[in-house]
Chain A
Amino acid sequence: MDRLFRPLEEKLSGVVLTPDQFTSDDQTNFGRVYHWTPRFVVRPKTHEDVVETVRFAREQGLFVSTRGAAHSQSQLGISRGGILLDMKSMDRVLALDEKADTVDVEAGVVWRDLVHHLKKHRLVPRVLTNNLGVTVGGTVSMAGIGVASFKYGSQGDNVVEMDVVTGAGESVTCGPDGPEADLFWSVVAGLGQVAIATRLRLRLRRFKSLTRTYYLLYDNINQFMADSEKIMNDSRWDHIESWSSPCPQGIKPVDGRRQPFAKWFFPYHLTVEYEDGSPPDDAALLDGLTPYDNLYTDDIPTIDFFERMIPVFELWKKAGTWDFIHPWMECVLPWDTAAAYIDQFLVDLSPGILIGGHILLWPAKGPTSRSRLFMRPEGENLVGFGILPAIPPGYWDQVRPMLDNASRLCIEMGAKRYLSGYIDFTPEEWKTHYGDKWDWFAGCKHRWDPDGLLNPGFVPLPSAPGAARKG
């Protein structure tokens, strides 16, 4: 038995697992690009368990990595020889304050469970990710983007208070303003580099019982963007969601090899919430928009709208592609280069890459976010673009250079990568990504995680001199 097992277990009310008890899920994340084996998996029950784990790790010279639903695709949510804190075991919904429209949750609460917990109060978190099977702590540490982000920013922007455990093992309550604001904003979108959130107070909003979604279709990106400006600049819409969708046209040479190619369309789903008996005025809502086609209008309960992607994910699971490699390449593009980048990328993209995946578009408003570490280009209007493939392992070496170049090209065209996906930055590229925030981020790391304990192996923030770890 590992000599540290008993001493660690005795400190905790939660569970400690050793490698003989691990499943394959404990050793990789949704990306399935990296496979690392931790020394221990800890499933904490309480904030104190997290404190004790971090202090124990410091004493013993071990790294601590954190995971929620492990939806990341690079070197996050996994541990090579250290302690992997599986936060899903902290999954209690705590106090609901209906006057303030806030709810306190433990970091391991899954968004879908929270949505169901709150629905009887007609309350919902202001921003939900498309995939509701991820945890509150996990997405807030990344930023957390959803179909209401064009109004409300990231999920991290809608946290009003957090309890965290720093890399030094200290408990701190922090908020977006006030004396601990630096700590707060280095945890939001901070990739678990300075502290571990254990309790989060989330801002909520009241929702109406029904949604109406207009399934519009655009046949060119420039028209799509022109209408996106109108859509984001008025208050008609509650949710906006879009994709790139291929209409296969045949076979053509790309780099000398004949492969399928497509005409790409841009489905645009615009949604409003309404109460039964007060349906929206379709003509007024769509006035001024110029889609290629208006395909369908869908009325469903709002709670079903929140869960609209679940059947898609179920399909991917049944088809087996859920277990493929997911090197998702997501970025936020400046408005003025977005159309050129998307056109260049799609023109030669084989539609077959979308088996078990899709290409996301999300028009966004930069100023809706205060997050310091959710890096995005300057400018009011932005376009999120995500290539979300599922790659059979045997094709990974073939696809990887294409994705690497797609990443480099978007950055050259002024984009910032969204960091939950497949990232293979050099140290210099990391600095470029964070720009003038790099030194601030590194300073936060030094201040709150002086031994460089937390989530190593991804962002190469400089560790304190002399910091040495066994894990």
Chain B
Amino acid sequence: MAAKFGTEEWATALKQEINDSSEYRNAANKWGVDFNGNLLFVFEADEGTPIDRSLMLRLSGGSCHEAEFVETTSHPDAGFVLRGPAHLWREILERKTMAATAILTGKLHVEGERMQLLKHTAANRALIHCTASVDTGWD
């Protein structure tokens, strides 16, 4: 059964998806090991989404330690923030837009050490794949 996007149930499903993924475990085994690999995805309000939402992922060494929606659009524990309009995120999660393309063309705004993120594109591609694999129900 689909988990509704933005809920604790969805975040839990994502954590499970990441930790069950051999692709992510292998691709991300160096992610967050000697730097802060926690990611904050900020889904900015737009026409279809009335309020900002953010997803905090605590990641290191190929594992997800915690996934939760938070009410702020910044977070002191985040090593990186990926910020973009909600409709773009939905396109990414529905695999209509490649996350790498969105980042490299500037449609997704990156806060944090951009070069570090670019040096781990395989890890982040695997993460996005996990995110897109969650059976999602939209508003």
Residues of A bordering B, CB below 8 Å: 252-256, 337, 340-341, 344, 347-348, 401, 404-405, 408-409, 412-413
The docked-state distance in angstroms from the alpha carbon of A413 to that of B100 is 14
A-contacting 9-mer, from B68-76, B77-85, B115-123: B115-123
Q: Is B4 an interface residue (CB 8 A)?
A: no
Determine which of A253, A340, A412 lies in contact with B104 in the assembled complex, contact meaning CB atoms within 8 Å: A412
Q: Report B-chain residues with C-beta under 8 Å of the C-beta of A347.
A: 27, 122
| Neighbouring B residues of A337 by C-beta, 8 Å | 115, 119
Let me know if B133 is at the binding interface, CB within 8 A: yes
CB atoms of B119 and A405 under 8 A apart: no
B114 touches A412 (CB 8 A): yes
Check A408–B104 contact: CB distance below 8 A. Answer: yes
The answer to whether A409 touches B104, judged by C-beta atoms less than 8 angstroms apart, is yes
User: In the bound complex, what is the Cα–Cα distance between A252 and B120 (angstroms)?
Assistant: 18
User: B129 within 8 Å of A by Cβ?
Assistant: yes
How many B residues have CB within 8 A of the partner chain? 22
A266-B41 Cα distance, complex, nearest whole Å: 37
Q: A344-B122, A347-B122, A409-B118 are in contact. Are A254 and B23 (CB under 8 A)?
A: yes
How far does the Cβ of A184 sit from chain B's closest Cβ, in whole Å?
A: 36
**Residues in chain A near residue B133, CB distance under 8 A:** 256
Chain B residues with CB under 8 Å of A341's CB are 119
Closest 6 CB pairs of A and B: A408-B104, A253-B23, A340-B119, A256-B129, A405-B100, A344-B121
Whether a CB of chain A sits under 8 angstroms from the CB of B7 is no
- Tell which of A254, A256, A413 touches B118, judged by Cβ atoms closer than 8 Å: A413
A-B contact pairs, 19 of them (CB 8 A): A252-B23, A252-B26, A253-B23, A255-B126, A256-B129, A256-B132, A256-B133, A337-B115, A337-B119, A340-B118, A341-B119, A344-B119, A347-B122, A404-B101, A405-B100, A408-B104, A409-B118, A409-B121, A412-B114
Complex: A256 Cα to B114 Cα, angstroms? 25
Check A255–B129 contact: CB distance below 8 A: yes
Q: Could you say which residues of chain B place their CB within 8 Å of the CB of A412?
A: 104, 114, 118
- List, in ascending order, chain A residues with CB within 8 A of B105's CB: 408
- Would A348 and B129 be within 8 Å (CB), given that A253-B22, A405-B101, A409-B100 are in contact? no
Nearest Cβ on chain B to A43's Cβ, whole angstroms: 42
Smallest distance from the beta carbon of A252 to chain B beta carbons, Å? 7
B125 at the interface (CB under 8 A from A): yes
* B29 to A: closest C-beta gap in Å: 11
Contacts of B114 in A (CB 8 A): 412
Query: Distance (Å) between the CB of B32 and the closest chain A CB?
Result: 16
